[in-house]
A = this chain, B = another copy of it.
């Protein structure tokens, strides 16, 4: 491997575009200056189309988990009944968070690698009309499954319950129509499809959600979203914002607006299809079925080789990092991120290196066949690519 060559193909953090790095290299400015306040408010406004909402988008300094906790702290009080839809590591995180705030946690499970069935959520809501909040994950990063939030929202919307969606590894890469589908809280992070370093989390809340937030009893201060909403009216934030990352975010929004959100989605879709076609050609088991496969990350099973060895060869031969499995999937699967600052030619690169790693790890594959399958998908999608 070439010294200093870091090819990051994990499902976040993702590579930072050079123009964003440049923007983040600007001199520090005061976070209470008029110039920064104007920029902060404009930037928050420009996030609305990304969330597909007319609601305010709140910006907090913190990781994605901070955003998830803020959603919990503002909607769950001790003794409340909540329902968590879980089919992976990040579904489990909602369970831990809700439990930490004293909730009685019900759950709807799907096997890791499968999609959540909205009908099971509907059954729980009927059986337990006291459910206050339903927590769901859009892209389950640990399995590469994109859960069907539209269907889940359709069963939650008619009830009193709120629907809170972890869109950390999907927003900006996969379609999520917050207002149209009726999602009450959408949370995302900076280090996935938003192409920034980790350190920012974003939340948008429906009016139905704000009513619950205003009445919620859980102790909270930094995560009190009412403070962020109130300060946004004054074009600022209650606590010190991450100035440098806001400067980077401005450039990210420039990029997404220039490409066009639908084209951004199409690019992610294309990269997903290229990666999955390569997997099929190479005989790699696709861990998530086609119907629920995420456009931002692809998970592969392993037959006849050790996925940890494949990851190690990618790292030592080529400086490429892909992700392994989490929890009980450790050593069972590996995951390739293709989101944010990632393009079809990056997919070709990781696939050609993957073929080498598979051969070295003892897998029986035909060299070049995965790349060829991805190339065929790319060529067939010519019209989509022309827009990108």
Q: A residues engaging B (CB < 8 A)?
A: 1-7, 17-19, 255, 258-259, 267, 317-320, 341-346, 348-349, 351-353, 355-356, 359-360, 366-369, 371-372, 375-376, 378-379, 385, 388
Contacts and interface: CB of A to CB of B under 8 A. Distances in A.
Given A348-B353, A349-B345, A375 B367 contact: yes
Given A2-B341, A3-B258, A348-B352, 9 more contacts: A1-B388, A4-B341, A319-B343, A348-B349, A352-B371, A356-B378, A367-B375, A368-B372, A371-B371
Contact of A3 (B1, B7, B19, B385): B19
9 contacts: A1-B388, A2-B388, A3-B19, A4-B19, A6-B18, A348-B348, A359-B379, A367-B372, A367-B376
Interface centre among A267, A352, A355, A378 (most CB of B within 10 A): A352
Nearest to A317: B385
Contacts of A356: 375, 378-379
Contacts of A319: 343, 345
Given A255-B3, A375-B355, A345 B367 contact: no
Contacts of A343: 1-2, 5, 318-319
B375 A352 contact: yes
Taken together, the copies of this chain in the complex come to 2
Contacts of A367: 371-372, 375-376, 379
Contacts of A379: 356, 359-360, 367
A224 B364 CA distance: 63
A256 to B, nearest CB: 10
Given A258-B3, A359-B379, A345 B372 contact: no
A385 to B, nearest CB: 7
Contacts of A17: 2-5
Nearest to A316: B386
B345 A320 contact: yes
A148 to B, nearest CB: 29
A344 B317 CA distance: 9
A3 to B, nearest CB: 5
A348 B320 CA distance: 13
Contacts of A352: 345, 348-349, 351-352, 371, 375
Contacts of A378: 356
Interface centre among A343, A359, A371, A379 (most CB of B within 10 A): A371
Contact of A344 (B318, B341, B366, B385): B318
A379 B357 CA distance: 10
A281 to B, nearest CB: 9
B345 A259 contact: no
A318 B345 CA distance: 6
List 5 tightest A-B contacts by C-beta distance, closest first: A368-B372, A348-B352, A368-B368, A2-B343, A349-B349
A358 B375 CA distance: 12
A320 B318 CA distance: 19
A137 B349 CA distance: 34
A323 B342 CA distance: 24
A298 to B, nearest CB: 18
A353 B345 contact: yes
A15 to B, nearest CB: 10
A349 B6 CA distance: 15
A19 B2 CA distance: 12
A19 B378 CA distance: 33
A258 B2 CA distance: 11
A359 B372 CA distance: 12
Nearest to A256: B3
Contacts of A348: 348-349, 352-353
